[in-house]
Structure formats: C-alpha cells, structure tokens
Amino acid sequence: MTTFTRALVGHVCRLLEPDEREAVEGDIAELRMPGAEALREVLGLAVRRQAALWTEWGPWLALVGVVIPLGALLGQLSWPWADESAIYTFLYVNNWTWAYVESPGARRDLLDVGTRVCLNDLALIGWSWTTGFALGSLSRRTLWVTATLFCLVVLVVFGLSSGTTARANPFNAAVFSLPFYRIVYPWLVLTGLVLLPGVWGMRRSRRSALLPLIPTLVGFAIVALLTVSAARTLELFAIGHWHLTRLDPSPDGFIEHGGWFRPLRLLPLLPLWPVAFIVASACWRRLRGQPASA
C-alpha cells in the first residue's frame, strides 16, 4: 500500500466509529490488502454506515434547516460584504492621509465606517460559528458529509454572486481594478469570516454538543445584538441594493427614490435560528438536570 492510498484509507476510516475503525484497520493490515482493495472495502463500509445514519431525522434537519438555507445565505453575503469593506479599506489604507484623523468630520466618518464594518464582520463570524455548531450538534455522526455539503453550498453560491452592485458602480472602478480587491479580498473574507469560523464551530460541537447555559445566553445576546446592527446590510446584500429602493417618477418626470421598502425584513431571523437552537438545547439540558461541558 502506498503512502497516498494509506492516507486515503485512513481518512475514509475516520468516518467510522473509533472501535470499528480500529478493528477494520487491523483487519486490513493483517490481510495485507493491496491499497486499491483496502480503499474499496473501507469505502463500502463507510457508505453503508453513512446511509444507515441518514435514516434518522437529525442529518435531514441539518441538511434542510442549516446546510441549504444558511450555506446559501452566507455564500450570498460574502461577496458583497467583502466588496463593501474593500471600498473602505481602499479608501483608508491605499489613500491614507492624516487629514482623516485631523479633520473632525473625516474623523467621525472614519469612526462610523470602522465601527460599522467591524460590527458587520463580527456578525458574519457569529452567524458562521453558530451555524457550524448547530450543524455539528444536529448531525454529529454524519458531520463529514453535512460539513462537505455546507462548504459546497457556500462555495457555489459565493461563485454565483460575484456581480455585486458595488462593482457595477463606475465610481468604484479604481478599487476593483486592483486584483487584490477584485479577486483576493473576497476569498479572504469568505475564508476568514465564514469558512474558518464555521469549521471552528463544528469542531467545538464535536467536543461537546451542548454548551453551559449562562455563556450560551450571553453568546445569544451578543449575536442577536450584532444581527440587529447588521440587519439592514444583511437585507441589502441578500437581495441586491437596487431592488430595495422603490423607484417612483417625480413630478418633473425624473425617477427618484420613493423610500425604502423591506421585503426581506424577516430575513435576519434566519441566521439567528442556529443560536436559538443552541440556547434551546442548553435550556433543555438544564431542565433535565444534565451537565454540559465548558
């Protein structure tokens, strides 16, 4: 067996329960199975085991309630989220001048923008982490499959949502003419604010599917506040800026903005549901008198 096939077999074996993994890997070593045969055998067993797990409701709830809606939402948000902060990063980093600090008006703008971008980024991290944790709790034994599907959904939707209004705006041409902001920055945002926190949440849930009640309630409050602060941005980015401004003809015949309407005003509840699930699980555990690990 080559190092490569041994590594592959080892990876597939990680889908099995620890005792079974031990016995199967031992059988493969004892029977001196060639690499391809060992891989086929282990894959066959892993597929049977995974298929059996999907007869329970947990993985399906994880798929329908977390992977598809939240994977799509987080993938959809990442690109416009990145483009918006790219514009401000370009403004304040690539065109830095001390006047931004010295002028009271510019200083206030800098603080406003910095605070808003930081809060939005924290909200995205919070949603991704809680999504990962809920996914891990709901589909503990099928996590390899659901996590892979989650990442796939995020990546596919992310790939489809690259045409943002920020890029279409000719005033931002200087920003997006730079390859860093056009290509690298969105991937940095996707990786750093969505995928890594999501995987971190999944890993945390593998250690313990339930969190202590008090820290969970505090975490819920923080994520809820971040969601309220980022709600408008979430709605705007989820549907695209132009759809949210009602265009009415003014008396002189020119089109003007007729005010905001919010067809997606309930959308911020979607990224909150994993947090609600985590809190409900912690409360349920507390009511039943079962301890949760820290």
Partner 1 sequence: MLGEFEYLLISASARLGDDAYGAAIRQEIERASGQRCSVGALYTTLDRLEAKGLIATWMGEATPQRGGRSKRMVRVTAKGTREAAAFYRAVTRASRGVSWKTKPREDRP
**Interface with partner 1, residue 232, by CB under 8 A:** no
H/E run at residue 258: strand 255-260
* 133 within 8 A of 206, measured Cβ to Cβ: no
**With contacts defined by CB under 8 A, how many residues of the chain interact with partner 1?**
20
**DSSP conformation letters of 143-160:** HHHHHHHHHHHHHHHHHH
Closest among 162, 165, 209, 182 to 62, alpha carbons compared: 209
C-beta closer to partner 1: residue 49 or 116: 49
Per-position x/- string for 40-79, each x denoting binding to partner 1 as judged by CB under 8 A, each - no binding = -xx-xx-xxx--x---------------------------
Nearer to partner 1, 27 or 112 (CB): 27
| Structural contact between residues 187 and 271, judged by C-beta atoms closer than 8 angstroms | no
Residue 188 Cβ vs partner 1, minimum distance, rounded to whole Å: 42
In whole angstroms, the minimum distance from the beta carbon of 34 to partner 1 comes to 14
Write down the least CB distance from residue 31 to partner 1, Å.
Answer: 5
Backbone φ/ψ region at 34: left (φ over 0), alpha (ψ -120 to 50), beta: beta
Tell me how far, at minimum, the Cβ of 60 lies from partner 1, in Å. 21
Q: Does 141 bind partner 1 (CB under 8 A)?
A: no
In whole angstroms, the minimum distance from the beta carbon of 144 to partner 1 comes to 17
Nearer to partner 1, 45 or 199 (CB): 45
Tokens of 53: 């797990």
When the beta carbons of 45 and 196 are compared against partner 1, the nearer one is 45
Whether residue 58 contacts residue 139, with contact meaning beta carbons closer than 8 Å, is answered with yes
By the rule CB under 8 A, 19 interacts with partner 1: yes
The residue (of 51 and 99) whose beta carbon lies closer to partner 1 is: 51
Report the C-alpha gap between 270 and 134 in whole angstroms.
Answer: 13
Q: Which is nearer to partner 1, 45 or 272 (CB)?
A: 45
d(CA 170, CA 83): 14
Q: State residue 260 phi and psi, 5-degree precision.
A: -90, 140
How many angstroms separate the Cα of 170 from the Cα of each of 180, 232, 244, 245, 267? 18, 23, 20, 19, 29
Helix (H) or strand (E) holding 249: strand 245-249
Q: Residues 22 to 41: which contact partner 1 by CB under 8 A?
A: 22-31, 41
Q: How far is the CB of 23 from partner 1 (least distance, A)?
A: 4
Contact residues: partner 1, CB under 8 A: 19-20, 22-31, 41-42, 44-45, 47-49, 52
